[in-house]
Amino acid sequence: MAGSLLNGSRMAARTITAIVGGYAAAAGSVSLLARVLPIDRAEATIWAMTLSFLLYAAIILWAFHEIRLLRVAGIIWGTAIGSTACVLLLGPAL
């Protein structure tokens, strides 16, 4: 019973990390990409938005493929926080 409860809570943590954290990581990463691409701003935004669907799907698939939950959480949440911080440090787009 206790092992089943522990496995269920790990799966819930992995699911939340994959869905919510994956969205945050993909959004932060493509926002940063759109800001640093050396092309027209509208075109960079379109390219980044197109890439975001592929990146989000890849993050979710990887989150359930990787065995170690701590590694999954660290990489996904680290990417989300790091990329969002970089976007904020760049300041407003002109």
In order of 64, 77, 85, the CA distances from 12 in angstroms are 11, 16, 27
pLDDT tens by residue, 51-63: 999 999 999 999 9
Q: Has residue 17 got a pLDDT over 90?
A: yes
- Count of positions (residues) in the chain: 94
Domain that holds residue 53: 2-90
pLDDT tens by residue, 68-87: 999 999 999 999 999 999 99
Q: What is the pTM of this model?
A: 0.86
Residue 72 in contact with residue 14, Cβ under 8 Å? yes
* Domain count across the chain: 1
Q: Alpha-carbon torsion 84, 86, 90, 94, what sign?
A: negative
